[in-house]
Structure 1
Amino acid sequence: MRQYETRKKILVTGGAGFLGSHLLDRLLARGDEVICVDNLFTGTKRNIEHLLDHKHFEFIRHDVTFPLYLEVDQIYNLACPASPIHYQHDPVQTTKTSVHGAINMLGLAKRLEARIFQASTSEVYGDPDVHPQTEAYWGNVNPIGVRSCYDEGKRCAETLFFDYHRQYGLDIRVARIFNTYGPRMHPNDGRVVSNFIMQALQGKDITIYGDGSQTRSFCYVDDLIEGFIRFMDLPRAENGDPGFPGPINLGNPGEFTIKQLAEKVIDLTGSASKLIYQSLPSDDPTQRKPDISRARKYLNDWQPAVQLNEGLQKAISYFDDLLTKT
């Protein structure tokens, strides 16, 4: 690990994506030096263009399935398409990004003796039999379905992280992210929040898959990034032990049906959109709700502060502005 500067040098893979770009903002705002690595498959330079002239920011276009040689103090590994439309576009590459990407970033962290964060997902729980989902639950995942490239890729990445932790003493942090939304979401990522808002703002019918009774919990992006940073900055134990590696659920335990979300979006946009129903996609989970007891315990009583209506209004403003400019 570099010892000659007080300012941390931090690598964020997938930094031009939705979550990554918000993390970059927070790290730079507190004075860190940040390297953003992204192949721009789903990320976009639009998300980071306000940072390109920042004296402590560097952008590298690179695919994490290939090795990367840098000198940094910490690594946040966020690289991977996260929406079904994007990760099913090239499922083999999605699995490679999760698995080869993890191997390459873990190898880098091992060489540097750097702490490394893995952005895992609630999808490791599959279509859960346990509700709400705790970190002790092993999941109910179809290993050969259309979503498996993402679900199993992330599960394998977790395995690699914990094996590097056990075998080499690597300082890891593994977070399981539940549905997150906010400004800079990709407008065509196929996720319910962006779908519903875009359809409502354009006066189109809002498409609900299934009968709308399936549930999700929606976390505003600022709350999630706060959880990332608190987790990554947990101090080492007095004996030098790296401390709590996770996994840890990060999400909002407030639970809403998909139909309730659609109705909220229509109300907040003032849209005349109607609800239409289509068949449910294969392996789509019927319930999603995190148990965040572990996050509260380890992350200084972390919990989401932004309520759904407030967060949706911010997301609606972002997408409305995006539509105005196009």
Structure 2
Amino acid sequence: MSERKRILITGAAGFLGSHLCDRFIKEGYHVIAMDNLITGRLKNIEHLFHLENFEFYNHDVSKFIHVPGNLDYILHFASPASPIDYLKIPIQTLKVGSLGIHNCLGLAKAKNARVLIASTSEVYGDPNVHPQTEEYWGNVNPVGPRGVYDEAKRFQEAMTMAYHTFHGVETRIVRIFNTYGPRMRLNDGRVLPAFIGQALRGEDLTVFGDGSQTRSFCYVDDLVEGIYRLLHSDYVYPVNIGNPDEITIADFAEEIIKLTGTNQKVIYKDLPVDDPKQRRPDITKAREILGWEPKVSRSEGLKITYDYFKSLSKQELNEVDHYNFDKYIIR
């Protein structure tokens, strides 16, 4: 039997990182998971601990990264991704997007490994182009409240391309649009878990602005498939991975009320600073280069996700951070 390929996944105990661990274990890889647990949760990956081809390191990749032995691939997914998190820990967010990516790329160079970084649709800011193509440079406020996350991701992309251009490191860049599914945190400030959490707790659903702003939601299994294909492709420039099925936030709130069978009202509050008005990926490149497009409909994915949240204990359901939600960005 040929030796297993070895892959390092940073941010492995997070929502997306844990699903990537599952996928690469399923594909027969030896998975080295790394997370400092600042936002990740061990329960997301504890079902893998008994496996011989899985190992976990509780470590902050912003400090340094040491992995003994050979390494074939690196997935850099270590970063706070929710508004509540990156506004609560802005310095750590900037550090993992700068020092963390530098360490990952240095490790990739030393190990002759291919590295894929998790970028985001937030690099487009509040876009003036719709839908967003990879060629669009964005409309980002570097000193606004979202700047700590948006600019960290933009720097990550620049550093990654520099290592590819000047050091010949094999690099891949995925720009992730709104993704959802089991293992999301109800208290992370993103619109989908926020709505479901409010519905399950019997609270009114909070819409910021007039609800005309749009989002496009991609189910996590579809996203993971796109990432897997991109990692094994020959394409080095950014690729959008997301679901182009666009919906307004107001209509989405009504979908959640119908899904949960609750009778809550929708209440409206002021739109936060720099909140994107439109968000929809152009996935032409993903279709043409990767042969990828989303397969899971929003109705199907929401049912799976809702069933997951319903299975949580009462304590987990009420684990809502005691922040002033009005000052945070719901995206």
TM normalised by structure 1 equals 0.95
Partner of 1:288: 279
Is 1:214 matched with 2:205?
A: no
Residue by residue, what CA displacement relative to the aligned partner does 1:130-180 show, whole Å, maximum 9, x if unpaired? 000000000000010010000000000100000000001110000000000
CA distance in 2, matches of 1:313, 1:115: 36
Is 1:318 matched with 2:308?
A: yes
Q: How does 1:132-281 map to 2 (within 5 A)?
A: 132-234=131-233, 243-281=234-272
Partner of 2:289: 298
Partner of 2:92: 93
Aligned structure 1 segments of 4 or more residues deviating by more than 4 angstroms? none
CA drift at 1:52: 1.0
Is 1:308 matched with 2:305?
A: no
**Stretches of structure 1 lacking an aligned partner (at least 5 in a row):** 235-242
Q: What letter matches 1:245 in structure 2? A: V
Is 1:105 matched with 2:95?
A: no
CA distance in 1, matches of 2:255, 2:215: 14
Of 62, 83, 86, 2:59 maps to: 62
Partner of 1:60, secondary structure, is: strand
**Stretches of structure 2 lacking an aligned partner (at least 5 in a row):** 317-331
Partner of 2:126: 127
- Aligned-residue Cα RMSD (Å) equals 1.1
CA distance in 2, matches of 1:107, 1:188: 34
Partner of 1:48: 45
CA distance in 2, matches of 1:11, 1:187: 27
Partner of 1:176, secondary structure, is: strand
Partner of 1:167, secondary structure, is: helix
CA distance in 1, matches of 2:223, 2:89: 27
TM normalised by structure 2 equals 0.93
Q: What percent identity do the matched residue pairs reach?
A: 55
Partner of 1:322, secondary structure, is: coil
CA distance in 2, matches of 1:59, 1:272: 43
Residue by residue, what CA displacement relative to the aligned partner does 1:25-78 show, whole Å, maximum 9, x if unpaired? 010011110011000011101101111111111010001101111131100000
CA distance in 2, matches of 1:306, 1:224: 10
Residue by residue, what CA displacement relative to the aligned partner does 1:296-323 show, whole Å, maximum 9, x if unpaired? 1111x20001111111111111111114
Partner of 2:296, secondary structure, is: coil
Residue by residue, what CA displacement relative to the aligned partner does 1:257-293 show, whole Å, maximum 9, x if unpaired? 0111111111011011110011111110000000000
Partner of 1:238: none
Q: What letter matches 1:186 in structure 2? A: R
CA drift at 1:233: 1.2
Partner of 1:237: none
Q: What letter matches 2:298 in structure 1? A: L
Q: What letter matches 2:95 in structure 1? A: K
Partner of 1:36: 33
CA distance in 2, matches of 1:99, 1:37: 17
